Structure 1
Amino acid sequence: MELVVYLAGQIHDDWREQLKQLAEQKGLPLVFKGPQEDHDRSDEIGEAIKGTQPSSIYRDHTASEFNNLRTRIWMNKADVVIAQFGEKYRQWNSAMDASIALATGKPLILIRPESLVHPLKELAQRAQCVVETPEQALEALAYVFE
């Protein structure tokens, strides 16, 4: 059995790559999907498809259409969602993706540092499990295969 894992959350560090490498080392049958990690591509996709927009507001709106399409497709195909919340960046996309996972009945593994226990308490109560590191999230998935 192979699981499709949607990796939601921050795109400003290499947590996804670390998780993928660890899964490969452990020989876990996981396929990883997630948001567009190339920030420029994500910001420019609307204009790449629809052409130059009249302002930055329309540019952002148009890009979000295609980024939301990508997210919706991969979230629907996912067997489980891992949402990473970090210390440094505002995590609007993480919260949105975690909420979508819960609303669509997808199992959710929430990664968040101790400093975010209070602001994420309601979301944490709805997740299947809450961990502090990507490695712990992967151990949770490894347990599924035991």
Structure 2
Amino acid sequence: MELVVYLAGQIHDDWRGELRQKARKRGLPIIFKGPQEDHDRSDDIGEKIKGEQPNPVYRDQTASEFNNLRTRVWMEKADVVIALFGEKYRQWNTAMDAAIALQSGKPLILVRPEGLVHPLKELAQRAQVVVETPDQALDALAYIFE
């Protein structure tokens, strides 16, 4: 059995790449999917497909259409969603993805540092597992295969 795991969350470091590498080293049968990690590609995709937009607002809206399509397709195929919240940036997309996962009935592993316990308390109560690090999330996935 392989698990498809959608990696929602902050884009300001390489936590996804590190998690993929650690899962491979452990021999875990996991396929990781997630948002477009190339920020420029994500921002430019609307104009690449639909052509130049009249202003930055339309450019963002057009890109969002295709990024939302990508997210929805991969989240629907996911067996589990990991949503990682970091302390440094506002995490609107992470919150939206976590809400979609819960609404869709997908098991959710919430990764949040101690400093975000209070602001994420309601979301934490709905997640199947709440951890503080991506390594702990990977341990939770590994436990599924025992």
Aligned AA (1:123): L
Name the count of aligned residue pairs.
146
Question: Residue 82 of structure 1: SS of its match in structure 2?
Answer: strand
The ranges of structure 1 where at least 4 consecutive aligned residues each deviate by more than 6 angstroms after the TM superposition are: none
Q: Which residue does the alignment assign to 2:113?
A: 113
Mapping for residues 1-146 of structure 1, pairs under 5 Å? 1-146=1-146
Aligned AA (1:124): A
Question: Residue 94 of structure 2: SS of its match in structure 1?
Answer: helix
Q: CA shift at 1:25, angstroms?
A: 0.7
Identical aligned residues as a percent: 80
Unmatched segments (≥5 aa) in structure 1 = none
TM-score for both structures, normalised by structure 1: 0.99
Question: Residue 67 of structure 1: SS of its match in structure 2?
Answer: helix
Q: CA shift at 1:32, angstroms?
A: 0.2
Question: Residue 96 of structure 1: SS of its match in structure 2?
Answer: helix
Unmatched segments (≥5 aa) in structure 2 = none
Aligned AA (1:10): Q
- Cα separation, 2, equivalents of 1:46 and 1:22: 33
Q: CA shift at 1:50, angstroms?
A: 0.4
Aligned AA (1:102): L
Aligned AA (2:65): E
TM-score for both structures, normalised by structure 2: 0.99
